Each structure stands twice: as structure tokens, then as C-alpha cells.
Structure 1
Amino acid sequence: MTYHKIDFHAHYLSPGYKKYLKNQFNDMGDGVPTPEYTIDTTLSIMDQVNIDYSVISISSPHINTGEKSSTIELAQEVNEYAAKQHQNYKDKIGFFASLPLPYVDASQKAIVAALADDATGFTLPTNSRGIYLGDKRLDPIMQTLDDNHAIVALHPNAPGVEDPTVTSQIPAPIVEFFFDTTRTVLNMLQNGIFTRYPNIRFIIPHAGAVLPIVAARVQNLTQALNHDLTDDQVDIMSVMSNQYFDVAGMVLPQQLPTLLELIDSNKLLYASDTPYTPTPAVLSLTKQLETTGLLSDALKQRIFMKNGQELLKK
């Protein structure tokens, strides 16, 4: 691989998280087999893809077990595991801490503890058992994140409500993740998350999911059908111009060029989505980004390294 990289969307599986996936999902969370994982998995991918620094995080399903105390315990376990990897590989591994949503006090305590352990930032699911990120019950958590000028990487989760007659044959990550990412960003917009908590630097995954396609529709047509909405509640273009986006997944040839028409290219970040994206696919997708004629060399350097350095001040 030609370009040095910082990876903002790489996953880990702690022992406690593996147990959770086995007990609650029979090792088929979101319809996907649980991948084999040790920290060497991350380090090996980094070597193969020329990644200098990876910010690891827990993937979906979110750590909400359906019960408060076990959710809090699992959040602590996954964060302690990630903090240990950061301590062992300080120059190579950072981490986005997980929060025990929707439990407010416990989530605020988890923020403080993770920052004390030098967390890079936090990962939030698009929904936690049907509670979306614009929900006012989560406002105190957003305020704590805002007070700390946190980096917050959104991660898609299966929708709060699914119709199995529609979704049973296609694993949630293929389509439903894109819809749920779009759904939660619009829910956040409607409820003023981006304007009320301007110090949070959000990373929207997978090149914005469906947002690049529906943004103009949201901006220009929504108020015609709902006159009660304010201009701020439909101003998705301002949100997209101010937030960060990762390029995890198959973003070429259509999705990334469309996104680039709407956003500041200095806010694009490289992402491998390993190990849920198998290594051969990570290598293939990264090579596409490195060699495409749709992006200039200067833009590739920004996506792979420079934008991430500026965000992390590395």
C-alpha cells in the first residue's frame, strides 16, 4: 500500500463482548458470524494496509444487554480491555469508549473514566434498543460529551423495530445499517443535537450512508409537509458541512463522489471496518481508494492521513 493511514473505524472484541454475542445472539449478531479476534488481528491488518494508527471500537450489536447492571458491567469490561491495548501499544492503538446507553448517570461516569484512561473519544450506536440519539432522555450525556469537546463516532445498529418479513433474508449491515445511520442523524437534527452541542465532533460512518442522496430532499421539501419545523430542524446541509465522515465500506464509484459534492473534504477519514470486513475485502477496498482516478493525490493524502492528524492533533 502506498499511503500511510490513520484508521477511525476498526473494531475489537473483548472477552466479555464475545461472551455477550454468544449468549444473546448465538454468535450471529446482526446476522453476521462473530469473527475471530485478538489484538494481533488489528496489528496484522495495520501492517498489511500501511496503517500507522488505529482507533479501535466495539461494533454492533450495541452493548445494551436489556438489563441495567449487566449493561454497565459490559461497558466497563470493553472499555478496560481497549484501554489496556492502548497502554500496551500507545503509538499504534487508540480507542473509542462505549457507553452504557440509555443509562444517564452510568454513561456520564463512563465518560469521565474513559477520558482518565486516555480514550480518543466515544462510540455511540445509532440506537440503543430503540432509543435514538436525538432522544431528550440522552441530553445529559450529550452535554457531558459537549463539555469535554469529545470526538464521537456513530456506529450503525439494527433498527429499533424490524419487520422480519422484509429483513429476514438480508443481513442488517447490508441495508438496514445505512437506513439507521440516516435515521439517527435526521433524528439528531430534528432535536437540535448539532446546534445545542456544537463542541462534539461527530464522525458519521460509511460515507454518510443514505444522507448524500436524501439531503437535498430533507433541506428543500420537509417544511412543505410539516410547517411546524424550523429552518434549523431541516438544515441538513449545515450539519453535513461541519461534521466528519469515514469511508468504511464500498464507497466507490458512486457514494463518495456524491458525498464530496456536499461536504468539506477536510472532514473525510479513512476507515477499514476490520475485522467484520474480511482482510481480503479491506485490502481490495483500500486499493480502490488508493488507485482511483476520481480523487486527486492531495485528497487521498488528506483522507488517509492528514485529516486524521488534524482531528487528533497528532
Structure 2
Amino acid sequence: MVDQWIDVHAHFTPPMTQEQSAARWLAMQQADWIGAKPTDWSLASALALMDSVGIAMQMLSNIPKELHTLRASNDYGASIVAMHPSRFGLLVALPTDNPEAALAEIRRGYDKLNADGFAVTFCYNDVYLSDSRLEPVWAELDRREAVVFAHPNAYGPGSFGRPSALLEVAFETTRTVVDMLYAGIFRRYPNFKLVLAHCGAALPALSGRLLLLGTQPWIQNPNSITQDEMRQQLRSLFLDTAMTGSAHTLAPALAMTTCDHIVYGSDCGVPCTVEETMRANIEAMLGFAGLAPEQIEQIGHNALSLFPGAAARLRRSACHVVDAEPRHFRIDGIDNGVPS
């Protein structure tokens, strides 16, 4: 369907026992998920789906809520990348309810896990990313010019009998990013790159209202963020296309930022995404009249500039047999000539 795109929004789950899998499904049912029990993630199924759709690489993320589980998950993710360096990258999860532990995991990500970037949740164990206690974490990520992928909690309590993954995730994202803006985080730390899941959720659609009203005297604005700063900081955000590839979300996104700040995301590996919806989302992107075909193709490869280590692994794989068989790649203009 697509030409070796890079997927920045793909989830994985370390192996679970039957009891752990059943307990997870029970918790989801209590949060208003219905239907048949979803199939657990597996490496083989992820690779098969990537090959069938045309995804060259997925940047994997998983953010458990307990520190020891989070660290073990990061270790497992690193082992996947070590086995398949040309197919996967790792976004090391950070426990942002514990700044010291988060700083330690940043160091471990660089020193031991070969991190391509980091993954955070907008509200992690009741601590929002705009919390002032996270100042040293943002300072360190900024110092390292890190890429940070931010995702809402899709397994929180449902609303009106529907899972939070349907709508509530959009408002958690939007509220938190706006509060980060007012907190001055993007002013103080302009060097880290923030990738927002789901095309920034409701933020692009509300960005015009925010710019129009957000600096009015009746709004609390303790850091005196100006309208021009707001516009620039919103424009600097990166947005992925996970389940948001239609005109309904791409048009507002392009009003807030530019095509080079939109990256492809599938949201694969979790129960709210199946192959049918993944393919339908890609078809919607390919049919979007607001961008030229070459611009849509650009979105599929924009992540290469965000993740230079992953791009280097792909370049190497374009000229060598990696992961059992040669595959066709077009990376930065390099074509290895192997038919897809």
C-alpha cells in the first residue's frame, strides 16, 4: 500500500502469562471495552503486518505504570531492536511520576538501551507532564536534544459507557499540552522535539481559539506567554497520523503547523487498532486533497530526520541482507533495487 514508511506510533507488549493477559482484559472490560478479547501483541504478527502494508520500520513504545515493569519493558524493547535493527526502533518509556527515576532511565536509555527517543504519558500515575517537579527531566531531555513521543492514557475510566480510547484521550492530550505551553516549558527548553500522538488530538482544531483568546487579560498566564510565542511553539510540535489520517484532522493540523512536522503513525499493537482500521487510515491519507501526493509520501518518511540512528540502520540495510532476506528501500534517495 505504501512505500516503506516509518511508523513512529507502534506499541508492543512483553510476553504475558495467560493469567496476566486475562487480568488485563478484565481491567479493560471494567473500563467499558466490549466485544471479544483482543489478541495479544507478538513480534511475528507485527512483522507480518508491516510487510503486508509496506512499513519499513516501527518505533516501538510501551509505558507500564509500575517502575520495575517499565524498566523490564524497556529492556525487552531493546532486545527486539537488537534482533531486528532495520525493522524497529525503541522509544524508552519514562516514569514521569518520579523525576529521579526518569532521569536514571534517560541515562540508561542512552548508555545501555540504544534509545532512539523516549515515550511519556500525558498523565502518568496522576502526574501531568506540565508538573513543575518534572523541570529537571525536561532540562535533561533538552540538553540532549531528545525526541519525546507523548501519548495519552487509553486505558483510563470510560465515559458514558465508552472506552477512553475513543474520545477522552484527545482531551487529555489537549489539556496537558496547553498547560505545558502556559507553564513556559517550551520557552525554557526549545531543543527537545515533542511528537504528539493522534495528530495532536483536539489541539489543532482548538489552536485558533487558543491564539485568539489565550493571551487575553482574563486568562491566567503567569509566564506572560505572548501570542507570537504560542504560534511559534504550536508550529514547532510534531504530530503523528495514528487513526487521524483524514481531512477532518489533517486540515486543522496543517493550519497549526507544516507538512514537515507531520509524521506517519499507525497505533498498531493495541486493541483499539486492527488491520482494517490501519489500512483505512492510510487510504484516507492517500486520498487527502489538501496535500500533493509527494507531500503525503514525505509524511511517510519525515521520521527519518527525527531519528538519525534509525535512519542509519535503514541505510545499512539497503545494501546488505538483514533480517533473513533482502527488502526494497528508498531512504534519502537511496534505492537498493530489491523488488518489494
TM-score calculated relative to the size of structure 1: 0.88
Q: Does residue 244 of the first structure (1) align with residue 248 of the second (2)?
A: no
Name 1:93's counterpart in structure 2: 88
| SS at structure 1 position matched to 2:92 | strand
Partner of 1:154: 150
Q: Distance in 2 between matches of 1:10 and 1:136?
A: 29
- Give distance in 1, aligned partners of 2:51 and 2:99: 39
Cα distance in 2 between the residues matched to 1:22 and 1:128 = 23
Which residue matches 2:331?
Answer: none
Counterpart among 257, 264, 269 of residue 263 in structure 1: 257
Question: How do residues 171-190 of structure 1 correspond to structure 2 at under 5 angstroms?
Answer: 171-190=163-182
- CA offsets per residue over residues 134-153 of structure 1, 9 Å max, x none? 10111111112112211000
- 1:140 is paired with a residue of what secondary structure? helix
Give the AA of the match of 2:67: I
Paired with 2:119 and 2:13, the residues of 1 have a C-alpha distance of: 14
SS at match of 2:6: strand
Measured in 1, the distance between the counterparts of 2:221 and 2:135 equals 22
Distance 1:21 1:263, change over 3 A: farther
Give the one of 30, 46, 63 matched to 2:50. 46
Q: Percent identity?
A: 25
CA distance, structure 2, for counterparts of residue 257 and residue 8 of structure 1: 20
Q: 1:291 to 1:22 in 2, by over 3 A?
A: same
Q: Tell me what 2:26 maps to.
A: 26
Q: Which has the higher helix share?
A: 1
For 1:201 and 1:289, the matched residues in 2 are separated by 24
- Structure 1 regions of 5+ residues with no counterpart? 65-70
Aligned length: 300
**In structure 1, distance between residues paired with 2:148 and 2:18:** 23
* Structure 2 CA distance for partners of 1:22 and 1:74, relative to 1, 3 Å: farther
> What residue in structure 2 maps to residue 218 of structure 1?
210
Letter in 1 for 2:83: N
1:118 aligns with 2:122: no
For residues 18 and 301 of structure 1, what CA distance do their matches in structure 2 show?
41
Letter in 1 for 2:219: N
| Equivalent-residue separation in structure 2 for 1:97 and 1:31 (angstroms) | 29
Shift of 1:230: 4.6
Distance 2:134 2:10 in 1: 25
Q: For 1:123, what is the secondary structure of its paired residue?
A: strand
| Alpha carbons of structure 1 residues 184 and 18: separation in structure 2 relative to 1, 3 Å | farther
* Secondary structure of the corresponding residue to residue 225 of structure 2: helix
1:286-301 correspondence to structure 2 within 5 Å: 286-301=282-297
Question: Which whole-Å CA distance do the structure 2 matches of 1:197 and 1:19 have between them?
Answer: 43
Contact 1:190 1:233 in 2 (8 A): no
Aligned equivalents of 1:202, 1:106: Cα separation in 2: 20
Hey, what does 1:309 align to over in structure 2? 304
| Cα separation, 2, equivalents of 1:143 and 1:98 | 17
> TM-score scaled by structure 2?
0.81
1:57-77 per-residue CA deviation (whole Å, 9 max, x = no partner) reads 11xxx522xxxxxx2211111
2:75 equivalent to 1:80: yes
Q: Does 1:63 align with 2:64?
A: yes
